[in-house]
Amino acid sequence: MEPRLSSSVFVTALMRRAESEGGYAAVLAKGDPTAGAVLVILAERGRKLRIMERILQPTGDYAWQEAVGEAAENDDEFEKFLARRQKFDPDIWVLELDIASAERFADEMNDFD
């Protein structure tokens, strides 16, 4: 088994990557520093576009997948989704990245691991 980055180090790297591209990054919920799941809200100019979650695959690798589509654009639905997700997994990290070309950034997220 190959060693993995801790969640806190991975989150910091992801935030720095967004900021290096001129974006804004914020931790909305701090999870387990070693092995917490990571949920990323991708926004562009304050408008949520996608909610992505880092999922451990059966192969032992991680991959990003879209968590929910409709909740990204509806604040009430998003808050309900987030509350359910945090109740299910209190150790989850929740980040918001507001970055130009959020769709491109999302497409490149699997290259971050």
- Where is 103: in which H helix or E strand? helix 102-108
Domains along the chain with CATH numbers: 7-111 (3.40.1530.20)
Query: Which phi and psi angles does 19 have, rounded to 5°?
Result: -65, -35
Q: What angle do CA 50, 113, 24 make, to 5 degrees?
A: 45
Q: Which pLDDT value is given to residue 95?
A: 92
Helix residue ranges per DSSP H, 4-98: 7-20, 75-88
pLDDT of residue 66: 84
CB within 8 A of 90, min separation 6: which ones? Answer: 31
pLDDT given for residue 29 in this prediction: 93
pLDDT of residue 110: 66
Spans of the chain, pLDDT less than 50: none
Instruction: Return the pLDDT at 113.
Output: 58
* Predicted structure pTM score: 0.84
The tens digit of pLDDT for each residue in 43-65 reads 888 888 888 888 888 888 888 88
